[in-house]
């Protein structure tokens, strides 16, 4: 009787080991399927937002604050590089205050990525050249994430987050 129990235990251990190995080798989730093709209009949306991002600096350097407001949704939200929260009015007020010290602004990196037919996320790195009153030049690098939405056939930036960065 003891011999029968011993062989039953051995068979159970071998069976458990085989099942365990089989389970360990099988994927824990179903195999990935091909992702859905991107919507046809997404490339056009990305191109439009890329141009708007490039125009942003031209508008800022020209001090065309009314045109700047036209880029921003009325519900625009800002998270500034120091962690403070703002809206479109506070951002434009900050631009106006800093305008006399800005020598140049350039974008060293820009990627626009459509996530829906009416939403594009733009990320990048800005190089802002500042000139102090005594003529000293300094640079501030800001990494940004902007969220653009299509409303009434117009692309509007509704959110921006800035982080101080180092040059790439």
pLDDT of res. 103: 95
CATH topology of domain 42-165: Nuclear Transport Factor 2; Chain: A, (3.10.450)
Among residues 93, 143, 117, 118, the alpha carbon closest in space to that of 38 is found at 117
Torsion of CA 100, 143, 162, 77, to 10 degrees: 100
pLDDT of res. 4: 42
pLDDT of res. 36: 52
Q: What contacts 139, CB < 8 A, 6 or more positions away? A: 127, 128, 129, 130, 167
Torsion of CA 88, 85, 98, 51, to 10 degrees: -50
Among residues 84, 93, 71, the alpha carbon closest in space to that of 147 is found at 71
Alpha helices in the chain (DSSP H): 2-25, 42-61, 65-71, 88-98
pLDDT of res. 7: 41
Structural tokens at position 69: 């407001």
Surface-to-core class of residue 146, CB atoms within 10 Å of its CB (0-12 exposed, 13-18 middle, 19+ buried): buried
Q: What contacts 32, CB < 8 A, 6 or more positions away? A: none
pLDDT of res. 86: 98
Q: Provide the 8-state DSSP code for 16.
A: H
Q: 142 vs 11, 55, 85, 91, 95, CA distance in Å? A: 65, 17, 16, 15, 14
pLDDT of res. 167: 75
pLDDT of res. 1: 44
pLDDT of res. 35: 52
Average pLDDT per consecutive 10 residues, the chain (168 residues; last block may be shorter): 42 37 40 59 96 96 97 98 97 96 95 97 97 95 98 98 89
């Amino acid at each position: 009787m003891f011999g029968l129990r011993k062989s039953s235990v051995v068979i159970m251990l071998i069976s458990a080991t085989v099942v365990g190995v089989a389970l360990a080798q099988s994927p824990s989730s179903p195999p990935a399927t091909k992702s859905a093709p991107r919507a046809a209009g997404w490339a056009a949306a990305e191109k439009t937002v890329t141009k708007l991002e490039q125009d942003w600096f031209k508008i800022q350097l020209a001090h065309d604050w009314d045109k700047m407001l036209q880029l921003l949704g009325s519900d625009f939200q800002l998270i500034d590089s120091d962690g403070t929260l703002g809206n479109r009015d506070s951002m434009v007020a900050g631009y106006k205050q800093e305008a006399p010290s800005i020598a140049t602004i350039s974008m060293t990196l820009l990627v626009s990525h459509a996530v829906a037919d009416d939403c594009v996320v733009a990320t990048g790195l800005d190089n802002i050249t500042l000139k102090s009153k005594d003529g000293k030049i300094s640079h501030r690098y800001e990494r940004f994430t902007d969220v653009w939405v299509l409303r009434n056939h117009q692309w509007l930036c509704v959110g921006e987050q800035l982080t101080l960065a180092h040059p790439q």
